[in-house]
Structures are given as structure tokens and as C-alpha cells.
Amino acid sequence: MNETSPAESAPDVQAGAGGHRRSHAAGRRRRRRGGGWLDYVVTLLVALLIAILVKTFLVQPFFIPSTSMVPTLETDDKILVSKLTPGVFDLHRGDVVVFQDPGSWIPDEPGRTDGARYKVTKVLSYIGLAPDPAEDHLVKRLIGLPGDHVVCPEVGGKLQVNGTTIDEPYINPDTPACQWAFDVTVPAGSVWVMGDNRFASADSAYHDSRGEEAFVPESDITGKAFVVMWPVSHWNVLDAGEDAFTNVPDPS
């Protein structure tokens, strides 16, 4: 009977060990692949959570639907709005603010909530990539704070706040500052807002001229716009407004 020596059998033992190592390695790769998909899902969920938290408490994007803020903001510009103002930071005269419709400032449009664009925007709003299309928002410049005395002495004249005439470099240079004559004192808890394109803006002055509610409750303010983020050619930091009101005294 022929016997196999230990030396002759060794290759078979080594081959078997190699097979076990390959099997274990393949198992580890399968586990890594399975763990990889789980990692992707967890990462996506964390990213969505962060986006929702950012939208809720910090920053929200909006787009400009009209010409009421030309030349500061053009139609279809995309802006970023800080939700820390008002709240953590105070509002100031000259701020560009976004606010919810304080009361029929935006007319109802049949079919506004229909169509693919509305549905896509609605989905994007949940993760902070777009404003909620079901909520009507407007963007204007804050002119008067609570207690301020805001006056336009005549159509075509210059705006006055607390007795100080304001030089407004941000308004449409082709039109004057006052599209209506008015004399108002801003009530507590509200603000007075106007568009930079004064003769194409349904703002506080416009609604006051129609005998309608002209003030915006501070509680309706979503936040302060601080940058135009898109298109790149319009990129701009929105910080020019406050300087126009530097010499305005506090209300007496």
C-alpha cells in the first residue's frame, strides 16, 4: 500500500486554508456592501433632517415672482432669507424682508395649486429647497418700524421718516420715491413696507391709498433677505438699505 508523506499532503492542506480565507473575504465584502447601502440611507436621512432644520430655523430660499423690487431684485432671482431676523437679530429700516400675505395682498389665482410645477415645489419645500407654494409670500423693503412717522408729502416727492428726508439709492431711478401721498404712524407690533420699484408695487402705500390694511404684523415676517444667490450674474449681498436711514431719529 502506498502511503502519502506529510510533505505530499501539505499542498492540499494549504489549498483548503486558502479556500477558507477566500470564503471569509467574500463574506466580508458582502457585509461591507450591505453596510454600504445602509450607510447611504442613514446619510441621506441625516442630510434631509439637517436641511429641514436649516429651513425651519436658519435659512430658506425664495424666488422673486414680480418686478416690484427692481432694480434690487429682478424677476426670477433666487434669494436666501435669514430666519434669525426678527428674533435673534433685530429688524432695521432698510432691510429687505420676506413676509406672509398679511391679508389679501396677493389675489387668488384659479389653478394656482394645480400642475406639475406646484407639486414639485411642494416636495422641495419639505426639505428647504423652495418656499412652500401653499403659503403666499411677498418681498419688500422695510421703511417704518413700530412708532415711526412715515410721510410722503406729495406724489413724486421724497419719503420722510420721523421728520428726516430719505435719500433712497436703491429705488428705481426712473421713478420718484412717492407713488402716493400718505401720512401714517406705524402701530406697535407692525411695520411699513414698500417696493423699490415704487410705481409697480402693491405695498403698504398702495393699500393705504385704497383704504385697506396697510401694515404688516411683525409676526408675519419670515426673515431678512441677505443675498441674491442665483443667477450668478445677479449675485449680490443685500446690505445697502440701512445706510439710507442712518440719520433717522427714534420716534418721539
CB burial readout 180-207, b (16+ within 10 A) else e: bebebebeeebbbbbbbbbbbbbbbbbb
Q: Which residues carry out catalysis?
A: 68, 140
Q: What is the pLDDT of residue 5?
A: 40
State the cell numbers at 85.
Answer: 431676523
Q: pTM, whole model, 2 decimals?
A: 0.74
**Domain boundaries of the chain, sorted by first residue:** 7-57, 59-245
Closest to 71 measured CA to CA, from 158, 140, 173: 173
The CATH fold assigned to 59-245 is Umud Fragment, subunit A (2.10.109)
What are 52-103's pLDDT values in tens digits? 556 556 788 888 888 999 999 999 899 989 999 998 899 999 999 999 999 8
Whether the per-residue pLDDT at 129 is higher than 60: the answer is: no
39 falls in which pLDDT band (50, 70, 90)?
Answer: confident
The whole-angstrom separation of Cα 235 and Cα 165 is 30
What are 175-190's pLDDT values in tens digits? 999 999 999 999 999 9
Q: What is the pLDDT of residue 6?
A: 41
Give the contacts of 208 (CB within 8 A, at least 6 positions apart): 180, 182, 184, 214
The whole-angstrom separation of Cα 20 and Cα 128 is 51
From the number of C-beta atoms within 10 Å of its C-beta (0-12, 13-18, 19+), residue 219 rates as: exposed
State the cell numbers at 206.
Answer: 398702495
